[in-house]
Amino acid sequence: MTVFDYVGALKTSEPLLDVLAKPSTLEDLKTSTFHYPPHLKPSVIQAGLKSAKYFQGKFHASRENYLEATVSVEGLDKSVLIQGHVSLNRAVNEDIVAIEIFPEDKWSAPSNLVLEEEPDVDAASGEASEENEENEKSRQLKDDMEKKMQQKVAKKDKQPTGKVVGIIKRNWRTYCGVLRPKTSKTSTRYVFVPADRKIPLVRVETQQGDLLQGKRIVVAIDEWPRSSKLPIGHYVKRLGEVGDKNAENEVLLLEHDVQHDKFSDAVLACLPTMPWILTDEV
C-alpha cells in the first residue's frame, strides 16, 4: 500500500490528498499520446558532454514569449536560443539542462512576439477529448507562431540555436499564483497560473477547487511526463484573497525567496527585555 492509498482510505482524506503528489501508473503511459521527445539518459548525456556533442547550461525562460528561452553555457560568448515547444522539451526556468546546438545554417534570432500560454481543453483536463473548434484554433495559432519565429533572419542577427535533449538538474520550487475556472463542472482538474510569467501553466488536481477560486495559492510541480502538455503539480497551501495586502505581500516575499518566517524562541531570547531604552553605554 502506498502513502496515497493509505491517506485515501481515511474519512477526512480530501484535504490531505490535495497536498500529495499523484502517483503515475504504467497503464497511463501505455495509453498516452506523447507530445515531447524523450530526454536522454544521464550516461548518454555525460558521454555527449565529454565529446562536445552536447553542452550544459542554465535554462532561462522568456517572460514575454512562452515558446522561447535561452541557455547560458560556460565558455560560449552568446547564449543559445531555444524556440518552439518541442525544442524547449519540458525544461522549466533555472533548470540545468543538456542541449544540442544546431548547425549554423539553422541558427535563428530572438523574436519580437509577445505570446502568453493558453492551454487546449484536453491539456487542461489531462484527458483525451474530441477535436473541437476552440482546440483547433489554439493549436493552429501555436503552429503559426512557431513558424514566424523560424522565418529567415539577417545573418548579423543570428545567434547559436539549439534544443534541449535532457535535464541534468531540476531547480523546481513552490510557486505562487491562482487557479483558472475549470472547464467542466464535474472535473477536479484545474490549470494553475503562476505569478511568475517565466513559469509554465501547471495542471493540478484538487477537491477544494471551488473554495480556492479567487485565492492566491501555492503549488509545487511533481513531474512533467512526455504525455502531458503541461507540468503536473499539487496544491500546497492558500495565502489569501487576490488583492488582499497581506496575501500579495507574501507572494512577493515567496517569489523572491525572502525568508519571512517568525523568529525562533532562541533568537528572541537574545533580545533585551521590554521596556527597553537606549542608554549612554550603548
Asked if residues 72 and 122 have their Cβ atoms less than 8 Å apart, the reply is: no
The residue whose grid cell reads 548518454 is: 44
Residue 95: φ, ψ to 5°: -65, 150
pLDDT at 132: 53
pLDDT band at 121 (very low <50, low <70, confident <90, very high): low
Task: Tell me the percentage of the chain whose pLDDT exceeds 70.
Answer: 76
Residue 179: φ, ψ to 5°: -90, 140
Note the pLDDT tens digit of each residue in 47-60: 999 999 999 999 99
pLDDT at 128: 41
The three cell numbers of residue 202 are: 501547471
pLDDT at 32: 65
Q: Which residues contact 188 (CB under 8 A, 6 or more apart)?
A: 205, 206, 207, 209
274 compared with 250, residue with greater pLDDT: 250
The three cell numbers of residue 219 are: 503549488
**How far apart (Å, rounded) are the C-alpha atoms in residues 221 and 223?**
6
**How far apart (Å, rounded) are the C-alpha atoms in residues 62 and 110?**
10
pLDDT band at 26 (very low <50, low <70, confident <90, very high): very low
CB-neighbour burial class of residue 11 (10 A; exposed 0-12, middle 13-18, buried 19+) = exposed
Cis before 275? omega within 30: yes
The residue whose grid cell reads 523560424 is: 150
Note the pLDDT tens digit of each residue in 63-88: 999 999 999 999 999 999 999 999 99
Residue 253 above 80 pLDDT? yes
**How far apart (Å, rounded) are the C-alpha atoms in residues 15 and 188?**
13
**How far apart (Å, rounded) are the C-alpha atoms in residues 143 and 197?**
21
Note the pLDDT tens digit of each residue in 140-197: 666 666 766 666 677 788 999 999 999 999 999 999 999 998 877 778 899 999 999 9
- 33 by DSSP, 3-state: which? coil
Q: Which residues contact 29 (CB under 8 A, 6 or more apart)?
A: 225, 227
pLDDT at 18: 67
Cis before 272? omega within 30: no
